[in-house]
Amino acid sequence: MRELTEQEQFWQGDFGDQYVERNQGQALISANIALFAKALGRVQGLTSLLELGTNAGNNLLALSRLLPGCELNGVEINAKAHAQAQSLDIAEVWHGSLFDFPRLRSYDLTFSKGVLIHLAPEWLNQAYDQLYHLSSRYVLIAEYYNPAPVEVSYRGNGGKLFKRDFAGEMLDRFTDLKLLDYGFVYRRDPQFPADDITWFLLEKRP
């Protein structure tokens, strides 16, 4: 067994438990539905997907309503969040680090939402590899964007939140990935606010 990174230990512990308690409610699900409806508007034939960093399952719950015929899968490191996501009975959620999730099959879509920003920067390439190799066609990245890497204090904690051009780095790393669509959701949106999330839809092309 490898030693977990500082960030993985952080999210596996009490802070991760507290995050589950803070992020609840129908308004969050509605905002997620609106975000995914836009972000996946150009996706075709989606029959399976995998979320790296599922937390309590809020994203998968929104997707279950938006894509009722799609097979949903997730990966979550925090035990409390994993139990809650699994109890929704809408997806198969694997308990563990996204870095250790086995590549036993591929999915039509892989995605992360608010997860890459919390990973150790030196481990990002491994996360990109997981998103890429586990996908048979589409990759969706919904994170905080910044043109250059920058660290931001997160609820008084250092080394726990990083902004950068995640999608651009994936496009540079994998030459067969193409940018299919992108957009932004503003935290002051009067109907469906989503914490300044910038999303990028990438597609594998021959």
**What are the strands, taking DSSP E only, across 12-133?**
48-52, 71-76, 92-95, 107-113
Residue 13 has pLDDT above 80, yes or no: no
Give the chain's domain count.
1
Q: For 93-123, give one letter per residue: b (16+ CB within 10 A) or e.
A: bbbebbbebeeeeebbbbbbbbbbbbbeeeb
Domain contains 44: yes
36: containing domain: 6-204
CATH number of the CATH domain containing 196: 3.40.50.150
Q: What is the pLDDT of residue 195?
A: 86
Domain contains 120: yes
What type of residue sits at position 37?
A
Domain contains 1: no
Dihedral pair phi/psi, residue 186, rounded to 5°: -85, 140
**Would you state the structure tokens that stand for residue 52, as one six-digit string?**
């790296």
* Confidence (pTM): 0.94
pLDDT band at 56 (very low <50, low <70, confident <90, very high): very high
pLDDT in tens, 31-49: 999 999 999 999 999 999 9
State what percent of residues in the chain have pLDDT above 70.
98
pLDDT in tens, 162-177: 999 999 999 999 999 9
Neighbours of 180 (CB within 10 A): 16
Domain contains 187: yes
Separation CA 160–CA 158 (nearest Å): 6
Dihedral pair phi/psi, residue 9, rounded to 5°: -65, -40
How buried is 73 (Cβ within 10 angstroms: 0-12 exposed, 13-18 middle, 19+ buried)?
buried
Residue 24 has pLDDT above 90, yes or no: no
Which of 44, 37, 53, 126 is closest to 85 using CA atoms?
A: 53
